[in-house]
Amino acid sequence: MWIARSKAELEQQLATSPRPVVLVPTMGALHPGHAALIDLARKHAGPDGAVLVSIFVNPIQFDKPADLEKYPRTEDADLIICRNHGADGVFIPDAEDMYFDNRSITVTETHLSKHLCGATRPGHFDGVCTVVLKLFNLTHCDAAVFGEKDFQQLAIIRRMVRDLDLRVQIIPHPTLREADGLAMSSRNRRLTPEQRADASRIREALTLAAQKPSPSEILVTAREIIEASKLTKIDYLAIVDEENLQPTEQITRPSILACAVFYGEVRLIDHIRIPKA
Ligand code: PAF
C-alpha cells in the first residue's frame, strides 16, 4: 500500500494506477464504519482496480476553530485499517499543500444546505463540496463511496455531481451501528461513559417515532424520548423530503426524520426513513 503525502506524490503514484479508481474520502479517525466503506470500494474496484483512501481533516468545513483543533488524529491506526481492508493507496496531504493562501474560488450550495446541519453550521457544506471536488480532480477517481449516515452530505454531493457534470459514480453505504443502535461516528469517542450509555436513546427515539401515524406525533414522540435525558440538547429535529431536503408537513413523498443532538459539546446526528402513510 503506497502513501502519498502531497499532490505531487499522488500524481506520481496515479501515473501507473490501474482503473477503475474508487475513492473513499475521509477525515481519518477511522472506525469500523469507514472500514465498511473501504470494503465496499474494494468490491466495486474489483481485483484489478485501485482503492484509494484520502485522510484529510479539511479546515474549511469547520465553522468552529475549536472543533478543528479537537478533531481526533489517529494516523497510525488509520493506516492499519486501510491496509487490512485492501486499500491500494492512501492520500494524506496537509492543508498548506491543499489550499493556496490566496485561494478565492469555492463551491457554493444554495438550496439543500439551508436546513438541518447546514442551518447551524454556516459554510460547512460549501467546505465539504470544495474539498470533495478537489479530491475528485486530484485522484481522477471513477467512483467514490460515502456513508448514508451523513445523508445531507450525501444528497449535496450527489447534487454537485449532477449540477457540475462530474464523471464520478457516487456509491452510498448504509449507516453502521454499534450493538445498542448508536450510529458509528468518530465523534462517539469524545463522549463520556455516561453520555455514551445514554446516546442509544437517539436511535430508539427515531425508531419509535417513525411508527407514529402523523408528522406532528412523530416529532412529539422523538422529542419526548430525547429530552427525557438531562444530558441531551436538541440542535434540530425535523422531517424533510429525502431528495430535496426541504422540511415537509405532509408525508406524501419518501421522507426522513433527522436530528442532531448535543451531548455537552459533542454533536451527534442520525436519521431514519419514514414509511409513506
Ligand atoms: O464525511 C467526511 O468525513 C468529510 O466530510 C469528507 C467527505 C471526507 C470531506 O472532508
The average pLDDT across 5-34 equals 96
The mean pLDDT of 52-75, rounded to a whole number, is: 94
Question: What's the gap in Å between 54 CA and the centre of ligand 1?
Answer: 9
* pLDDT, tens digit (0-9, with 9 covering 90-100), for 94-139: 999 999 999 999 999 999 999 999 998 999 999 999 999 999 999 9
Q: In what order do the strands lie in the sheet with 143-147?
A: 2-4, 89-91, 50-55, 21-26, 143-147, 169-173
Which residues are catalytically annotated?
34
Range list of H helices, 164-269 = 193-198, 201-210, 215-227
Which ligand 1 atom is at minimum distance from the Cα of 58?
10
Residues 6+ apart with CB under 8 A from 248: 215, 239, 240, 241, 255
For atom 3 of ligand 1, the residue with the nearest CA is: 26
Average pLDDT over residues 20-27: 98
Q: Give the pairing of strands 232-241 and 255-263.
A: antiparallel
pTM of the model: 0.94
Per-residue pLDDT of 188-207, as tens digits, reads: 999 999 999 999 999 999 99
- What is the rounded distance in angstroms from the CA atom of residue 85 to the CA atom of residue 105? 35
Q: How far is the CA of 211 from the centre of ligand 1 (A)?
A: 31
CA 248 to chain centre: 23
Q: What is the pLDDT of residue 87?
A: 98
All residues at 6 or more sequence positions from 170 whose CB lies less than 8 Å from its CB, including other chains = 143, 144, 146, 154, 157, 158, 161
Q: β-strand 21-26 against 143-147: which pairing, if any?
A: parallel
Where do the domains of the chain lie, and which CATH numbers do they carry?
2-173 (3.40.50.620), 186-270 (3.30.1300.10)
**Residue keyed to cell 461513559:** 193
Nearest to 155 by CA among 207, 188, 184, 117: 117
